[in-house]
Amino acid sequence: QVLLVESGGGVVQPGRSPRLSCAAYGFRFRNYPMNWVRQAPGKWLEWVATISDDGTNQNYADSVKGRFTISRDNSKNKLFLQVNSLRDDDTAVYYCARERDGGYFDFWGQGTLVTVSS
Amino acid sequence: SYVVTQAPSVSVAPGQTASISCGGDNIGGESVHWYQQRPGQAPILIMYSDSHRPAGIPERFSGSISANTATLTITRVEVGDEADYYCHMWNRGSDRRVFGGGTKLTVL
């Protein structure tokens, strides 16, 4: 059974740099590209970043490029998102999602809420 | 950047047919996927590559695509179908994944 479990969220002060994690279970993690998607309260889904199955290629939304870094550890079946210089508009639920050939996201975690507040 | 647009809301009576559209320049040249999101829950994939249903998704859900519009159709709508629906695509030209703004389906 495929399971994705995010962690690392919480109340964070502006300017801080938390790292979000996503633990993967029930599938061969190293075979799949992975993504982070976020959703601000009451708002729509926003794609954040993608990383290739072997971790060598990353791609970012313009809104986070240069501030966020996606990475993975295939030996530990974990995906990460380093979030630097947090801003108020980064407040959102952050989801990790598995990507299949054709670009669709077939499994999602339950998300971790990051609230930027002083 | 590539933009896809969705109507903010659609309302339909139980038993009727709901059509949810996703517009974008030459969207017919891409693969479009659809997700259902109920309040407080993570999104669920309900259609991929324009018109393919994942296992467990009822046949009442179908997808189609034309030059500039992708459409999710739900027949015999049930109260349990009330949710937000998002289209999604990988715009290969810009190498960006893109979500539509979502459509809230209300079952009257």
Question: Would you call A45 and B99 a contact, using CB atoms and an 8 Å cutoff?
Answer: yes
Does B1 score more than 80 pLDDT?
no
Query: Which pLDDT score is estimated for B27?
Result: 82
CA–CA separation, B83 and A113 (whole Å): 21
Residues of B in contact with A106 (CB under 8 A): 45, 48, 54
pLDDT in tens, A82-104: 999 999 999 999 999 999 998 99
Say whether A105 and B44 touch across the interface (CB within 8 A). no
- Find the mean pLDDT for residues A24-42: 98
Q: Scanning the structure block, which residue is given the tokens 């467990």?
A: B56
Q: Is B97 on the interface with A (CB under 8 A)?
A: yes
For residue B85, give both structure tokens.
Answer: 């629906």
What would the pLDDT profile of A40-85 be if each residue is shown by its tens digit? Answer: 999 999 999 999 999 999 999 999 999 999 999 999 999 999 999 9
Write the pLDDT tens digit of every residue in B48-100.
Answer: 999 999 999 999 999 999 888 999 999 999 999 999 999 999 988 888 899 99
Res B28 pLDDT > 80: no
> Is residue B106 predicted with pLDDT exceeding 90?
yes
What is the pLDDT averaged over residues B20-37? 90
Asked if the model's pLDDT at residue B29 lies above 90, the reply is: no
Residue B91's pLDDT is 84
High-pLDDT (> 90) share of chain B, %: 80
Per-residue CA distances from B49 to A8, B60, B62, B63 (Å): 32, 17, 11, 9
Q: Hey, what are A111's tokens? A: 């998300």
Collect contacts of A51-55 with beta carbons under 8 A, ≥24 apart.
A51/A79, A54/A30
CA distance B24 to chain A (A): 17
Question: B96, A106: Cβ pair inside 8 Å?
Answer: no
Got the DSSP string for A45-108? EEEEEEE-TTS--EEE-TTTTTTEEEEEETTTTEEEEEE-S--GGG-EEEEEEEE-TTS-EEEE
A106 vs B45, B90, B100: nearest CB: B45
Q: Does A45 touch chain B (CB under 8 A)?
A: yes
